Homo-oligomer: A and B are copies of this chain.
Amino acid sequence: MRALIISADNFEDSELLVPYYTLQEEGIEIDIASIKKGSIKGKHGYKVQANKSLKEVNPDEYDVLILPGGKAPETIRKEKTALEIAKKFFQRNKPVSAICHGPQILITAGLMKGRRSTCYKSVAGEMKEAGAIYEDKEVVVDGNLVTSRQPSDLPAFMRETLKMIKKS
C-alpha cells in the first residue's frame, strides 16, 4: 500500500500531519510530492520533507491520493503536472481524499462535475460553479472521492479514507 500526498508551502498543518501519521500507523507507505523536492512549511510552522517533485511522480505506484488544505492548493492548482496526476487517479477510479481547500485542485483539473462533495465554506461557490453537488457535511463520499470541510472533520475524513483504501 502506498499513498501520495500533494502539497506545498502554507499547507494547513493538521490536515497534512494527521493523514501522514494515521496512514503510517496503518502500515501504509507515504510519499509527499511538491513543486520541487525538499522542505515545505505549514501555516503553523511545521516542516515536512517533500521526497518527490511532482514531475517524479508515477501515479500508477499509488493506491490513494491525499490533498490537504491551507493555501497550498492555490499554488498546486497552477501546476499542470499535479492536475494530470489527479486525473490519472480518477481515470483508474482510485481513492482521492481532499479536505478544506484541497478540492480546489480537483476543480481546476475539471474533475468535479456532477460529483457529490464538500470543501471549506469559502470554496463552496467555485465548487458549485464547477458543477459539483455541494453538501455542507463533515464528510461526503462519492465513488472514489472523499471530501471534508475543515480540520475538525479529520476524524470522519480519515475514517472514510481508510475504509475506501481497505476496500480498493
Contacts and interface: CB of A to CB of B under 8 A. Distances in A.
Interface residues of A, number: 17
Interface stretch (A14-22, A105-113, A123-131): A14-22
Interface string A143-168: 00000000100111011000000000
A13 B24 CA distance: 18
Interface in A1-51: 13-14, 17-18, 21-22, 24-25, 44-46
Contacts of A14: 13-14, 17, 21, 46
Contacts of A158: 21-22, 25
Contacts of A13: 13-14, 44, 46
Contacts of A154: 21, 25
A25 B22 contact: yes
Contact of A159 (B25, B46, B155): B25
Contact of A18 (B18, B45, B159): B18
